Structure 1
Amino acid sequence: MKNRYILFLTPIALLFAVSCGKKGKSNAELPPTPVNVAEAKTAEAIYYDEYQGTVTALNIVELRSQVSGFITGIFFKEGDVVPQGKELYEIDRRKYVAAYNQAEANLGSANANLVKAQKDIDRYNMLLQNDAVARQTVDQAQAAYLSSKGDVDVAKATVLSAKTDLSYATITAPFTGRIGISQVRLGSQVSPGTTLLNTISSEHPIGVDVVINEQDIARFYKLKQSGTDSTFKLKLSNDSAYNEPGKVLAIDRGVNNQTGTVTVRIQFPNKQDVLKDGMSCVLQVLNSESGNRLIIPYKAITEQMGEFFVFVSQDTIALQHKVKLGPRIGANVVIMSGINEGDKVITDGFQRLRDKGKITLGKPAAAGAPAGGAK
């Protein structure tokens, strides 16, 4: 019985040995994968962090009337740059001119009464010295003088008020800037403080507002103190670059306790009027880690579950390395850690590779083709 078991197991053992031998021979005979490589090099890497921004005028004013009336004059061309002090609108001046003239006349009358009251006091004081007038009469003259003096002060205030209203009837540019489309026309009736006439805004220089996280506040304070001409750049909504340097103008007084953000305003020159109030743009801020960095082609990167890897050629095998990526620069990417300068990273043909897989330098197989080529 024992001999029978031995005879039965022997063929099974022989079959197992033959099978293993064939499998090992198959693995050994797998052809190496053709790949292309590129050398990891250290080069000057200048890159920028990006923030969504909005162009904003540093000075913008809504023009509203401070007196009521009808528009009788418009003295500008819509959309033009107007100098400070230029007359823009005129409101019917007639009643304000009349009020001013009446106030001036009342002031003249009050001054005349004051002069008369002063003379009465002088006369009564002289008579009082000779006991030729009652003391009560002198006191009444003194009171009349003080009353006349008060009337003069009231008349002067009325003149000033009338003069101010008359000046409000002509609306001038508070600063040099570009004026918009008029919201009223000739003959329109305006009310004080409510009717919007127009809006004027400064254009040179101009600001760009961005919202940053509170963790970046210290960085922007440092940039405010030591920012260089290349620190800030702009990319416009059409992806064109705005080739003027900027600087930090202001950092808002506090952090929004709901969002944990703060607004920063960057100032840019705008002599050519390229930037317009309200435009959207992207603010590019020079990254402090710019400089000599290790760079490889971005196409060498593979991603697995949120982590990034490259294959490095070492003789005839490919070794997989986990890497930490920096920013992309065109077709390349900065490598912060994981490989060294001079390493030859595989850029093509790594799709079927595994760690320590065999490779050979050459034209990679086409997608879907066997690694060893067609038989």
Structure 2
Amino acid sequence: MKHTSIYILAVTATVTWSACGSKQQQAGPPPATPISVVEAKKTPAAYYDNYQGIVVALNTVELRSQVSGFITGIFFKEGDVVQKGQALYEIDRRKYLAAFQQAQANVLSAKANLSKAQKDIDRYNMLLKNDAVARQTVDQATAAYETARSQVAVANAALASARTDLSYATISAPFTGRIGISQVRLGAQVTPGTTLLNTISAENPVGIDVVINEQQIDRFYKLMKSSTDTTFRLQLPNGQMYGSTGKILAVDRGVNNQTGSTIVRVQFPNPNKELKDGMSGVLQVLNDDSGNRIQIPYKAVVEQMGEFFVFTAQDSIALQHKVNLGPRVKDDVIVLDGINEGDKVITEGIQRLRDSSKVTTAAPAQPGAQGKPAAK
């Protein structure tokens, strides 16, 4: 019985080994993965860095009175464009007009006293030549003349001050711009330097203020010297692109030591008054890497642990390449380095690929396409 058991085990092992060997011979190498490829080509690529910005009027002023009184006239329509020198508000002028007229009278009086003093000194000097008057009398006449002359100067200064106060009673537009909603109404009392009457802003051109970090300051100084008509674009709040391009007007004088940032102001023409003071927008700045760049479908990119890879097909072999990507361009992406122009980039089937995997661009075989024909 013992010999019989050994014989059966040996036969079983032989059969098992034969079956395994037969399966290994039938398995063979894994089939090639079907793929689709596109050729990597260089295309003109212009892409932009985005900065959130605010529209600012390049010239804006708050109107405040320099004299006290009550508003007796408003001579504009709120929201309209007013011309430089146009009268906007009037403060009760009666007190200032009376002071001006009094100052004029004082000037006339001082000039009359000066004229009398001049005649006195001329007469005394003539008498002094004939030794007909005392020297002391001449000296007193000379002093009276100098006093009268100084009084004329004082009166003229008072007249100029009264004229200025009278002019301040009428508030005019300092420049051509759009005026806002009045903060005071007829009959309102105003206090010098305190009461805000209105605000005027120039509308053409305007600026866009953006905040940049200190590492980008050198870049914007270079753009100030070498920017082109396509360097700065503006995206409006409704998503549309503004029709004109801009140029750098100024980089702020210093850096905020709390945030490490500074402000750049870009000037845009605004002939149609489309841009309003305080409006938000996105300033688009042409990236330095723009130019003829390799562009491939974004679906060809594989991300692994924060790094990006693409597969290229070469002699039926898939080769993996680490790439440095630029920005997205719709369904495509810019490749800054990692592959070359003309490479066959794999776009389909990349989920099943590993480096050096076998690939084929032929369509996969359909079931029943090989072997014996089906029985009729």
TM-score (normalizing by structure 2): 0.87
**1:296 is matched with which residue?**
296
Q: Which residue of 2 aligns with 1:51?
A: 51
Once residues 159 and 17 of structure 1 are traced to their aligned partners in structure 2, the CA distance between those partners, rounded to angstroms, is 127
Number of positions where the alignment pairs a residue of Structure 1 with one of Structure 2? 359
Q: Taking structure 1 as reference, are residues 239 and 10 closer, same or farther at Cα in structure 2, changes over 3 Å only?
A: farther
Aligned partner of 1:349 in structure 2 is: 349
Shift of 1:99: 0.6
In the TM superposition, residue 362 of structure 1 has moved relative to its aligned partner by: 6.8
Give the whole-Å Cα distance in 1 for the aligned partners of 2:183 and 2:128. 69
- Verify: 1:153 aligned to 2:147, yes or no: no
Deviation at 1:18, TM superposition (A): 6.6
Quickly say closer, same or farther: Cα 1:262–1:14, change in 2 above 3 A: farther
Question: Deviation at 1:15?
Answer: 6.5
Counterparts in 2 of 1:116-195, with a 5 A limit?
116-195=116-195
Partner of 1:250: 250
Partner SS state of residue 52, structure 1: strand
SS in 1 for 2:284: strand
Give the Å deviation of 1:288: 2.6
Unaligned 5+ residue runs, structure 1?
1-6, 365-375
The residue that corresponds to 1:196 in the other structure is 196
Range with bigger deviation, 137-146 or 107-116: 137-146
Residue 281 of structure 1: aligned partner:
281
Structure 1, 320-329 or 162-171: larger mean CA deviation: 320-329
> Is the partner of 1:242 in helix, strand or coil?
coil
Normalising by structure 1, what TM-score? 0.87
SS at match of 2:351: coil
Show the counterpart of 2:335.
Answer: 335
Q: Distance in 2 between matches of 1:317 and 1:17?
A: 34
Q: Which residue of 1 aligns with 2:61?
A: 61
Q: Name 1:312's counterpart in structure 2.
A: 312
Question: Structure 2: which amino acid aligns with 1:121?
Answer: I
SS at match of 1:351: helix
Aligned CA distance change for structure 1 residues 115 and 319 (closer, same or farther; 3 Å): same
Instruction: Write the distance in 2 (CA, Å) between the matches of 1:112 and 1:44.
Output: 85
What displacement does 1:232 show? 1.2
1:71 and 1:90 in contact (8 A); partners too: yes
Q: Which moved more, 1:284-293 or 1:251-260?
A: 251-260
% identity of equivalent residues: 67
After TM superposition, the structure 1 stretch with the greater mean CA deviation from structure 2, 332-341 or 134-143, is 134-143
- The worse-fitting range, judged by mean Cα deviation, of 50-59 and 346-355 is 346-355
Letter in 2 for 1:221: Y
Cα distance in 2, alignment partners of residues 20 and 54 from structure 1:
76
Over 3 Å counting, the alpha-carbon distance change for 1:10 and 1:167 in structure 2 is: farther
Write the distance in 2 (CA, Å) between the matches of 1:81 and 1:332.
47
Secondary structure in structure 1 of the residue aligned to 2:293: strand
Residues 1:13 and 1:162: Cα distance change in structure 2 (over 3 Å): farther
Shift of 1:315: 4.4
Output the CA distance in 2 between the equivalents of 1:72 and 1:12. Answer: 119
Distance in 2, matches of 1:142 and 1:27, equals: 132
Matched-pair contact (CA < 8 Å) for 1:293–1:335: yes
Q: What amino acid is the match of 1:228? A: T
Tell me the distance in 2 between the aligned counterparts of 1:363 and 1:183: 77
Deviates more, 1:355-364 or 1:195-204: 355-364
Structure 2: distance between partners of 1:143 and 1:10: 151
> Which residue is equivalent to 2:370?
none
Q: Does 2:324 correspond to 1:324?
A: yes
Instruction: After TM superposition, give the deviation of residue 31 of structure 1 in Å.
Output: 4.8
How far apart in 2 are the matches of 1:320 and 1:248? 43
* CA shift for structure 1 position 199: 0.6
Distance of 2:52 and 2:219 partners within structure 1: 17
The equivalent residue for 2:4 is none
Aligned to 2:3: none
Q: Given residue 233 of structure 1, which amino acid in structure 2 is its aligned partner? A: R
Question: 1:233 corresponds to which residue?
Answer: 233
Matches of 2:17 and 2:79 in 1, distance apart? 92
**Higher alpha-carbon deviation: 129-138 or 292-301:** 129-138
Task: Give the Cα separation in 2 of the matches to 1:75 and 1:107.
Answer: 34
Asked if the contact 1:36/1:363 (under 8 Å) is kept, the reply is no
Structure 2 regions of 5+ residues with no counterpart? 1-7, 365-376
Of 282-291 and 88-97, more deviation after overlay is shown by 282-291
The Cα shift of 1:286 comes to 1.7
Q: Deviation per CA, 1:54-96, whole angstroms, max 9, x where unpaired?
A: 1111101011110011111111111111111111111111111
Alignment pair present for 1:213 and 2:213 = yes
Cα RMSD of the aligned pairs, angstroms, is: 2.7
Q: Does structure 1 residue 265 correspond to structure 2 residue 278?
A: no
Structure 1 pair 16/144, CA: closer, same or farther in 2 (3 Å)?
Answer: farther
Report the Cα offset of residue 363 of structure 1: 7.8
Deviation at 1:14, TM superposition (A): 9.2
Q: Distance in 2 between matches of 1:69 and 1:24?
A: 109
* Deviation of 1:357 (Å): 3.3
Cα distance 1:357–1:106, how it changes in 2: closer, same or farther (>3 A)?
Answer: same
Match of 2:88 in 1: 88
Tell whether 2:91 aligns with 1:103: no
Question: Which residue identity lines up with residue 227 of structure 1 in the other structure?
Answer: S
- 1:257 partner SS: coil
Distance 1:169 1:243 in 2: 43
Once the two structures are superposed, what CA deviation does each residue of 1:206-264 show, in whole Å capped at 9, x if it has no partner? 11112223333333223222322111111112211012021111122233333333322
